[in-house]
Structure 1
């Protein structure tokens, strides 16, 4: 494996934490004997082009410095290749890092762990989700969201203030005021299911939104996607059940149905899909699990 490592940096992640994290991460990797180059990019498309060039040139690892959005971009460069992905998680949510038992908002510690795993050639192989979109296939590592949660994302993305997670808390309150279930058509490994639902989430990983364990039983190494369907519930029930999402105990509520599938197609009117917090476009969308699609620099045992 090449000792040349590429840092893939989002300087704006976590309200500037990405820029501050790049230096201690680079220092820790250099101290372990690696040659480190940094990729920024003029915009997301340019950054992805540069990351793909680094992978094609044989970099020993692509190390994403930022949050889940930066990890999502990195996945588009390394998925399906032999190049391992490292993660220095300094964003707002960091759900991908949490699902793999990686340090969060501790860039030097994360870089030292990355260096140790590189030294021992100890990258893990994990599954990824792959979504078919009009713009082409897109990989994701955590959760594909649709319904109430994607509407919260839509609204939050339109809001200029406040910053950080508080913006999405306000977006949740605003969406509750206009809350309604929508008719879904799901195709689960070929089986069609029609239902009114508040939201449908498709998890390769367990959580989104900074620790909301919407697909709490999902595993990144079982070759399957976990589908969580929250049925047509009222505002009062949604407000009562919502706090349980952080513990994953919402799955036993009678309004919640779960499936475990290899492929799923989601269709619902006027609904956007998001994966790893990034917009995919309007439904319908089809997601599939691709076993072993990613080599990732993470401990051998993820948290339950």
Structure 2
């Protein structure tokens, strides 16, 4: 494997933390003997083009410096290629890094771990969600959101303050005033389910929105997607249930139903899908688990304790 490492950077991630993370990350990788190249795209499309070129040219690893949005972009370049992905988490939510046991907002520590895993040849295979879109496949690492949670995501992305999970807490309150459950049609490994739902989340990973463990039992090594359906509930019930996502205890509520499937199709009127916090477009959308599509520079995944 090449000792050349490519950093792909979002300098605006985490209100500027991405830019500050580059030097300590690059210094730690160089100290481990790697030649480091840094990519800064003019826009997301240009950054993705450059990342794909680096992968095609045989870079030893692609390392995303930023938040979940930058990880999402990097996934499009490395999925199915065998090129390892490293993550220097410097964003606002950092759900992908947290779910994979990676350091958050400590770029030197994250880079040292990346270098050690490269040295030991210890990249591990991880599943990805693969969404079929008119523009081609899109891979994601955390959660596909639709319904109330995608509206919260949309509003949270437009808000400048506050930072972190509190931004999404405020977005929840703002969206509660107008939202109504919508009729969904789900197809889970060929089995149709029709239900009125407040939201449907399809998890490759466990969380979104800075630690909301909406699919708390999801794993990225089981070849399955975890589907969480929050049914037709009142605003008062939703207000009580939704904060429980930070511990994953919402899964025990009578209004919440969970499924596991290799393939999921979601359809609902006037509903947009988001994955890794990035918009996918309107439903219907088909999602498939892509087992082992990612070679990830991260510690071995441990089995999480069941939420209480």
Same fold (TM over 0.5): yes
Provide the rounded CA distance (Å) in 2 between the counterparts of 1:291 and 1:74.
18
Q: Within 5 A, what are the aligned runs for 1:80-159? A: 80-159=80-159
Secondary structure of the corresponding residue to residue 223 of structure 1: coil
Cα deviation 1:111-135 (Å, max 9, x = unaligned): 0000000000100101000001122
Does residue 1:22 correspond to 2:25, yes or no? no
Cα deviation 1:251-291 (Å, max 9, x = unaligned): 11110000000000000011000000000000000000010
Secondary structure of the corresponding residue to residue 299 of structure 2: coil
Q: CA deviation at 1:181?
A: 0.5
Provide the rounded CA distance (Å) in 1 between the counterparts of 2:58 and 2:158.
39
Q: CA deviation at 1:303?
A: 6.1
Q: CA deviation at 1:82?
A: 1.1
Q: Within 5 A, what are the aligned runs for 1:227-242? A: 227-242=227-242
Structure 1 equivalent of residue 4 of structure 2 = 4
TM-score, normalized by length of structure 2?
0.96
Provide the rounded CA distance (Å) in 2 between the counterparts of 1:244 and 1:157.
22
Unaligned runs of 5+ in 2: none
Provide the rounded CA distance (Å) in 2 between the counterparts of 1:163 and 1:174.
14
Q: Given that residues 100 and 303 in structure 1 are in contact (C-alpha distance below 8 angstroms), is that contact kept between their aligned partners in structure 2?
A: no
Provide the rounded CA distance (Å) in 1 between the counterparts of 2:197 and 2:53.
42
Cα deviation 1:184-232 (Å, max 9, x = unaligned): 0000111111100000000000001111100000010000000000000
Q: Given that residues 186 and 193 in structure 1 are in contact (C-alpha distance below 8 angstroms), is that contact kept between their aligned partners in structure 2?
A: yes
Secondary structure of the corresponding residue to residue 22 of structure 1: helix
Secondary structure of the corresponding residue to residue 209 of structure 1: coil
Q: CA deviation at 1:242?
A: 1.4
The change in CA–CA distance for 1:147 and 1:88 in structure 2 (over 3 A counts) is same
The change in CA–CA distance for 1:302 and 1:13 in structure 2 (over 3 A counts) is farther
Unaligned runs of 5+ in 1: none
The change in CA–CA distance for 1:16 and 1:299 in structure 2 (over 3 A counts) is same
Structure 2 equivalent of residue 221 of structure 1 = 221
Does residue 1:278 correspond to 2:278, yes or no? yes
Provide the rounded CA distance (Å) in 1 between the counterparts of 2:156 and 2:125.
34
Q: Given that residues 230 and 257 in structure 2 are in contact (C-alpha distance below 8 angstroms), is that contact kept between their aligned partners in structure 1?
A: yes
Structure 2 equivalent of residue 62 of structure 1 = 62
Structure 2 equivalent of residue 78 of structure 1 = 78
Provide the rounded CA distance (Å) in 1 between the counterparts of 2:106 and 2:8.
17
Q: CA deviation at 1:64?
A: 0.3
Aligned Cα root-mean-square deviation (Å): 1.0
Q: Given that residues 99 and 302 in structure 1 are in contact (C-alpha distance below 8 angstroms), is that contact kept between their aligned partners in structure 2?
A: no
Q: Given that residues 99 and 303 in structure 1 are in contact (C-alpha distance below 8 angstroms), is that contact kept between their aligned partners in structure 2?
A: no
Provide the rounded CA distance (Å) in 1 between the counterparts of 2:268 and 2:134.
16
Secondary structure of the corresponding residue to residue 298 of structure 2: coil
Q: CA deviation at 1:136?
A: 1.4
Structure 2 equivalent of residue 34 of structure 1 = 34
Secondary structure of the corresponding residue to residue 219 of structure 1: coil
Q: Given that residues 153 and 209 in structure 2 are in contact (C-alpha distance below 8 angstroms), is that contact kept between their aligned partners in structure 1?
A: no
Q: CA deviation at 1:170?
A: 2.5
Provide the rounded CA distance (Å) in 2 between the counterparts of 1:190 and 1:303.
28
The aligned length equals: 303
Provide the rounded CA distance (Å) in 2 between the counterparts of 1:124 and 1:156.
32
Secondary structure of the corresponding residue to residue 109 of structure 1: helix
Q: CA deviation at 1:300?
A: 1.4
Q: Given that residues 101 and 303 in structure 1 are in contact (C-alpha distance below 8 angstroms), is that contact kept between their aligned partners in structure 2?
A: no
Q: CA deviation at 1:171?
A: 2.0
Structure 1 equivalent of residue 163 of structure 2 = 164
Provide the rounded CA distance (Å) in 2 between the counterparts of 1:223 and 1:78.
18
